[in-house]
């Protein structure tokens, strides 16, 4: 007994269409090769930054909101980012950049050959201008990578007395959602 029963009959039905089937396959294969040839370095660097920030979000949010079984909520990155306080918290400072990081990551999800431009990371650049003043970035991907540890630092929950200092320091900080 063959492992694939009926294949000979299936091939006989398809034989009159074989040239058209091969042309169709070649078109799809060409598109696959284009997508597979995308700059994986950029994709990988953005994805790594995204995953690192998400890891800290998964620690910060349950602690900040006192949530048990947070993982069982199965929230998307965008939902987690929108849960970050928009005011009166050190996390509010990096919130727009985190939301923007997710938008950049999503663009790669829809178009593997997407090229990140500085204008699409303006919130990230504003945060870096403050947190890493004087630093210059050759590419938007370099800036995204520099943003990730800044975001993580502002997502860390310090000891209670430092939390109070952060609340006082950030009491007048309010952020808006990035474009």
Q: What is the pLDDT of residues 30-54, one digit of tens each?
A: 877 776 676 678 889 999 999 999 9
Instruction: State the pLDDT at residue 2.
Output: 61
Instruction: State the pLDDT at residue 96.
Output: 96
Angle at 144 between CA 95 and CA 124, to 5 degrees: 40
* Separation between Cα atoms, residue 52 and residue 151, nearest integer Å: 10
Give the other-Cβ count within 10 Å of 60's Cβ. Answer: 21
pTM of the model: 0.77
List of residues 6+ apart from 179 with CB closer than 8 A: 122
* Residue 65 half-sphere exposure toward CB, CA atoms < 13 A: 15
Work out the end-to-end distance of the chain between its first and last CA atoms, rounded to an integer number of angstroms.
61
Instruction: State the pLDDT at residue 35.
Output: 66
* Separation between Cα atoms, residue 78 and residue 59, nearest integer Å: 16
Please identify every stretch of the chain with a pLDDT value under 70, giving residue numbers as ranges: 1-2, 35-36, 38-39, 179
* Separation between Cα atoms, residue 96 and residue 86, nearest integer Å: 9
Instruction: State the pLDDT at residue 172.
Output: 78
Where do the structural domains in the chain lie, given as residue ranges? 1-37, 39-169
- In the DSSP assignment, the letter for residue 87 is B
């Amino acid at each position: 007994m063959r492992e694939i029963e009926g294949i000979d009959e299936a091939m006989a039905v398809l034989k009159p269409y074989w040239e058209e089937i091969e042309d169709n396959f070649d078109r799809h294969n060409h598109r696959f090769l284009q997508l597979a040839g995308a700059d994986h370095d950029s994709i990988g660097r953005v994805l790594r930054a995204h995953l690192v920030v998400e890891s800290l979000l998964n620690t910060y949010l349950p602690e900040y909101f006192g949530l048990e079984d947070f993982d069982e909520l199965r929230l998307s990155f965008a939902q987690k980012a929108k849960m970050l306080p928009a005011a009166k918290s050190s996390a509010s400072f990096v919130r727009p950049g985190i939301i923007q990081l997710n938008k950049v990551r999503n663009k790669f999800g829809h178009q593997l050959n997407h090229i990140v431009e500085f204008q699409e990371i303006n919130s990230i650049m504003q945060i870096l201008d403050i947190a890493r003043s004087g630093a210059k970035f050759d590419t938007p991907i370099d800036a995204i990578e520099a943003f990730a540890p800044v975001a993580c630092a502002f997502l860390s929950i310090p000891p209670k007395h430092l939390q109070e200092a952060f609340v006082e320091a950030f009491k007048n900080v309010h952020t808006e959602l990035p474009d």
